[in-house]
């Protein structure tokens, strides 16, 4: 009986340790059965935007349009619609904690975004400019 209890406690401890170590992104999720690629593949709408800690959601939406949608596909392509439309390619960084987007427009450079949250219905990106300015964009499905 004691060995059975010890086995159950050991298995529970291992399960809790494995699940808690699955956290990849600072703001979640703690655990997901979906792959990172499956979670990022979606049609995303802007929920909130901050610049250096200040909420700029309404002015950002005014620029890109209330109907702005970022569509990310499994095959490494993206497109955006609204006042600012674009398309190009995307990829994960080596550790899959960054996403890189390259527009198909001539002269475009790759833009890097740190992934803060990546859930099937919620995605948060952080973009840091070379001068230290930080933009956080929160998307929802």
Is pTM beyond 0.85 here? no
Whole-number pLDDT of residue 40: 94
- CA-wise closest residue to 84 among 67, 107, 99, 101: 67
Q: What's the distance, CA 137 to chain centroid?
A: 9
CB 56 within 8 A of CB 63: no
Angle 134-141-93 (CA atoms, 0-180°, nearest 5)? 50
Q: Which residues pair with 117 in a beta bridge?
A: 124
Number of neighbouring beta carbons within 10 Å of residue 128 = 13
40 three-state secondary structure: helix
pLDDT digits (tens, 9 = 90+) for 32-80: 678 899 999 999 999 999 999 999 999 999 999 999 999 999 999 999 9
Structure tokens that stand for 20 in this block: 């808690």
CA 32 to chain centroid: 14
Cα 18 to Cα 6: distance, rounded to the nearest angstrom: 18
* Structural domains in the chain plus CATH codes: 32-140 (2.40.128.540)
Spatial CB neighbours of 134, under 8 Å, sequence gap ≥ 6 = 51, 52, 53, 126, 127, 128
Range ranked top by mean pLDDT from 4-18, 23-37, 74-88 = 74-88
Q: Looking at per-residue confidence, does 31 or 69 come out higher?
A: 69
């Amino acid at each position: 009986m004691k060995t059975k209890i010890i086995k159950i406690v050991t298995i529970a401890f291992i399960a809790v340790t494995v699940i808690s170590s699955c956290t990849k992104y600072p703001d979640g999720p703690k655990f997901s059965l979906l792959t990172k690629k499956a979670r990022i593949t979606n049609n995303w709408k802007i929920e909130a935007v901050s610049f250096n800690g200040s909420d700029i959601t309404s002015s950002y939406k005014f620029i890109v349009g209330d109907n702005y949608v970022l569509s990310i596909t499994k095959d490494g392509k993206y497109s955006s619609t609204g006042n600012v439309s674009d398309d190009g390619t995307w990829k994960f960084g080596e550790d899959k904690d960054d996403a890189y987007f390259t527009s198909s427009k001539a002269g475009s450079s790759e833009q890097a975004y740190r992934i803060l949250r990546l859930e099937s219905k919620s995605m948060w990106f952080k973009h840091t400019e070379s001068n230290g300015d930080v933009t956080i964009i929160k998307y929802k499905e």
